[in-house]
């Protein structure tokens, strides 16, 4: 289940940057979270994780169309390698920039992912949810553990 911010629902174009030290499994984060203030589960969110082997994979959680096993849909055909394994006991810099439906991710300052969501056949129907909120947060999954620090969220003004 994603853990989301409560007060950033109106955020649309922004950068979400943090440093993560992987302890086990993967580090996962959430953007475009859409959850009412008193709800426990979001109605929609776009998630990413980077596993220790260095693969970044996007996921979509859609409350009315949950995956029967994971609750969220893994978009394996959009997965990318970030350029290194996350074996070293150090902090990695992860920056996600959201501009409307375009999502760009930098890993340790290098661009590793860029995709306009809603355009790829495997995620088109899942991504069709409006209005999407701007809440951010982190994945909470039993086999994933990371230390997060230096969290920075910035509004992007055109």
- The structural domain count of the chain equals 1
Q: What is the pLDDT of residues 78-116, one digit of tens each?
A: 999 998 888 878 999 999 999 988 999 999 999 999 999
3-state DSSP assignment of residue 77: helix
Residue 107 within a domain: no
What residue has token string 């996007």? 58
Whether residue 41 lies inside any domain: the answer is yes
Backbone dihedral region for residue 100 (phi beyond 0: left; psi -120 to 50: alpha; all else: beta): left
DSSP secondary structure of 10-56:
T--SEEEEEEEEEEESEEEEEEEEE--TT-SS-SEEEEEEEETTSEE
pLDDT tens per residue, range 22-67? 999 999 998 888 777 777 777 788 889 999 999 999 988 876 666 5
- Is residue 131's pLDDT more than 90? no
Range of the domain at 42: 2-12+22-90+118-153
Side-chain half-sphere of 127: how many Cα atoms within 13 Å? 22
Contacts of 46 (CB under 8 A, 6+ apart): 30, 31, 32, 58, 59, 60, 61, 103, 117, 127
> What does R_g of the chain's alpha carbons equal in angstroms?
14
Q: Is there a domain that residue 101 lies in?
A: no
Contact 75, 122 (CB under 8 A): yes
- Could you report the per-residue pLDDT of 6-24, keeping only the tens digit for each? 555 567 899 999 999 999 9
| Contact call for residues 86 and 25 (beta carbons, < 8 A) | no
- How far apart are alpha carbons 120 and 118 in whole angstroms? 6
User: Is 158 part of any domain?
Assistant: no
* Number of residues written out for the chain: 158
Q: Is residue 106 part of a domain?
A: no
DSSP 141-158: -TT-EEEEEEEEEEEPP-
């Amino acid at each position: 289940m994603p853990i989301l911010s409560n007060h950033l629902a109106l955020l649309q174009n922004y950068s979400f940057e943090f440093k993560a030290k992987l302890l086990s499994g993967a580090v996962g984060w959430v953007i475009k979270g859409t959850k009412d203030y008193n709800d426990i589960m979001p109605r929609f969110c776009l998630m990413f994780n980077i596993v220790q082997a260095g693969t970044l994979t996007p996921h979509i959680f859609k409350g009315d169309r949950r995956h029967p096993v994971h609750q969220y849909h893994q978009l394996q055909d959009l997965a990318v390698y970030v350029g290194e394994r996350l074996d070293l006991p150090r902090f990695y810099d992860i920056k996600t920039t959201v501009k409307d439906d375009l999502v760009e991710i930098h890993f340790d300052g290098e661009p590793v992912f860029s995709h306009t969501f809603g355009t790829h056949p495997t995620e088109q129907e899942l991504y069709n949810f409006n209005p999407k909120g701007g809440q951010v947060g982190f994945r909470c999954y039993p086999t994933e553990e990371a230390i997060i620090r230096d969290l920075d969220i910035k509004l992007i003004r055109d």
